[in-house]
Amino acid sequence: MPPLRSAAALLLVAIVLGAAGCGGSSGPSQEDRQSEQRWRSGFGRWGNDMVAALNGISVLFSNPSFVDRLQRGDARTSARLATYERRLDTCGSRVRALGDAPEALAQAREDALRACVLLERGSRQVRRGVTEWQGGRGIDGIDAATNTLGVAQDEIQRARGALGSAPDE
């Protein structure tokens, strides 16, 4: 092929590849950015809800009046505790419902799911511990729940940190 034809052919290939999007990339597509933003937003709501449930449980067990009501089996206070427990019970399903995390946020999802295992276990421990306590068998079960939920809260913070350290694409 003569040099001029060869250069024209290369130019044509470059134009075709550029038009097809096969050349260099200018970053994530608008759709990818929107998908990541939706995931980040859902993740933020998840974290806020889990922390709110933990805080609610903490308030119930740190206020002597609520503690007394829980021990006596007060229906209203018990229902309030059950609401927080149910919220913790949904942890894993809520994170999974967000779908696969964008690659840059995969660590945040992994940390969140690890937190969920602990939150769901802690929720069951609270229920069991309160029942044992109301039955006069001490507070060991509640202490175990407190420890589990404390570690879970650390995992939520780790997950949020991983989300915050991920680059916005």
26 located within any domain: no
User: In the chain, how many domains are there?
Assistant: 1
Dihedral of CA 5/7/11/17: which sign?
A: positive
- Tell whether 99 is covered by a domain: yes
**Considering only CA atoms, which of 27, 167, 157, 32 is closest in space to residue 104?**
167
Question: Is 141 among the domain residues?
Answer: yes
Q: Is 21 within the bounds of a domain? A: no
Q: From the CB of residue 78, how many other CB atoms can be counted at a distance below 10 Å?
A: 16
pLDDT at 163: 83
What average pLDDT does the segment 14-41 reach? Answer: 67
Q: What is the mean pLDDT of residues 124-153?
A: 96
Judged against a pLDDT cut of 50, whether residue 17 lies above it is answered with: no
Res 156: pLDDT? 97
Half-sphere exposure of 55 (CA within 13 A, CB side): 6
Token readout for 169 is 């694409």
Give the pTM: 0.80
Render pLDDT for 54-100 as a digit per residue (tens, 0 to 9). Answer: 999 999 999 999 999 999 999 999 999 999 999 999 999 999 999 99
- Does residue 79 lie in a domain region? yes
